[in-house]
Chains A and B, each alone.
Chain A
C-alpha cells in the first residue's frame, strides 16, 4: 500500500484526472446497436423455451428451497415417532427373546399383547432385612417372587404399577390363578 498521505491539493488534482474517464463515452451508433441487441435479448427472455429437464431441475430447486423448513419439521416428527415405536418394539422383543423361562410363564404366554405386563422381582427371605414389611411368605424354604402388574405406556421407560402384589413360588402360582399376562423378570435369579 502506498505510504504517502494525500494532500487536499493532490486529491483535487487526482479527482480532475479521474474525471477524464467520464469522457470515455460511446457514440450514437454504439447505442443504436446496443438497443437492437438488447431488444432481441429481451424478446428471447420473454419467449424463452427450456427443455423439460432444465425446467424440472429448476422446479425441483425452487420446491426444495421453499419446502426446506416444512421438510425439516416433518422429518423431526417422523424421526420422533419412529424412535418411540422402535423403543417399544425393542422393549417387547427383549422381554420375549432375552429372558429365560419363568415358572408360570406358560400361563402368561397365553395372554394377548393387550394384557397387562408383570414385573417379577426375586427376593429370598434370607436376604430380606428384618425391618422390611413381610409380604412374601415362605413355603418350604422355596424362594418367593413378588409380582406387580404394569401398564405399558407410550414410552418404554414409563410404567406404572397398578395392581396389588401377587405371590408365587418357583414351582407355580401360590393361589392357582392365571397370571393372565406376560411376565417380565428382573433380578439376578433369572
Chain B
C-alpha cells in the first residue's frame, strides 16, 4: 500500500538516511506544486513555496509519528505554507501562468468550442486559461483550496477533510459554493 511504502521511507529518514527523502520529493513534487500553483496562480511563487514545504517536511520529519499518512501530513504543510504566504502578500499579488501541456482532453474540449483554425484555438486556450485563473482567484482561499484538491488533484471528500482539518460536510458545502460561483463566472464557456 502507498501509505505503508511512504512510512517505510520516513522511518529510513528518521533513522538517519537523509537521501531517502529524495524518493518522497520525486513522488509528490508535481502534485504539491500543482496544488500550490492553483492556489496562487503564480508559477514562481508556487516553485518557491513547494520547495519550502519540502524543506519544512524534511526538518520536521522526526516529529512525524505516522498517525496520518505522509501524503496528508505533507499536504497540510504545503497548505499552511501557502496560506501564510497568501496572507502576507494579500496586497501585492500578480499572476503568472504555467504553460498548457498539449493533451487530447484539452484539445477535445477546445474542439467542441470552436471550429476555427489552430491559431484561433491557441488564442481561445490562452483566454480560457486566463479566465479560469481569474475566476479561481476571485474565490476565497478556503473555497479555492477545496475545489483545487477535489477537481484538479482528484482527492476524495474524506481526504480533503483530513488535510484541511474540517468535516466532510464542510468540504461538501464549500465545494458546492465554489462550483456555483465558478459556473457564474465561466458561464460563457459552459454553453
Contact = CB atoms under 8 A, between A and B. Distances in A.
A139 interface: no
B55 A1 contact: no
B interface SS class: helix
A129 interface: no
B105 A14 contact: no
B51 A24 contact: no
Contacts of B25: 35, 38
Contacts of A19: 105, 109, 151-152
Contacts of B99: 24-27
Interface in A13-36: 13-27, 30-31, 34-35
Contacts of A4: 180, 183-184
Interface in A159-189: none
B128 A20 contact: yes
Given A6-B180, A27-B99, A42-B58, A20 B33 contact: no
B15 interface: no
Given A38-B51, A42-B58, A14 B186 contact: yes
B146 interface: no
A66 B41 CA distance: 40
Contacts of B43: 26
Contact of B132 (A21, A41, A46): A21
Interface residues of A, number: 32
B189 interface: yes
B151 A15 contact: yes
A37 interface: yes
B54 interface: yes
Contacts of B29: 31, 34
Given A41-B51, A45-B59, A21 B186 contact: no
6 contacts: A1-B177, A2-B183, A11-B179, A21-B136, A21-B151, A34-B51
Interface of B: 18, 21, 25, 29-30, 33-34, 37-38, 43, 47, 50-52, 54-55, 58-59, 97-103, 105-106, 109, 128-129, 132, 136, 147, 151-152, 177, 179-184, 186, 189-190
Interface of A: 1-2, 4-6, 10-11, 13-27, 30-31, 34-35, 37-38, 41-42, 45-46
Given A4-B180, A41-B55, 11 more contacts: A2-B180, A13-B190, A14-B179, A14-B186, A16-B109, A20-B109, A21-B38, A25-B99, A34-B33, A42-B58, A45-B55
9 closest Cβ contacts across the A-B interface? A2-B184, A24-B98, A18-B151, A2-B180, A23-B101, A38-B51, A25-B101, A23-B100, A13-B190
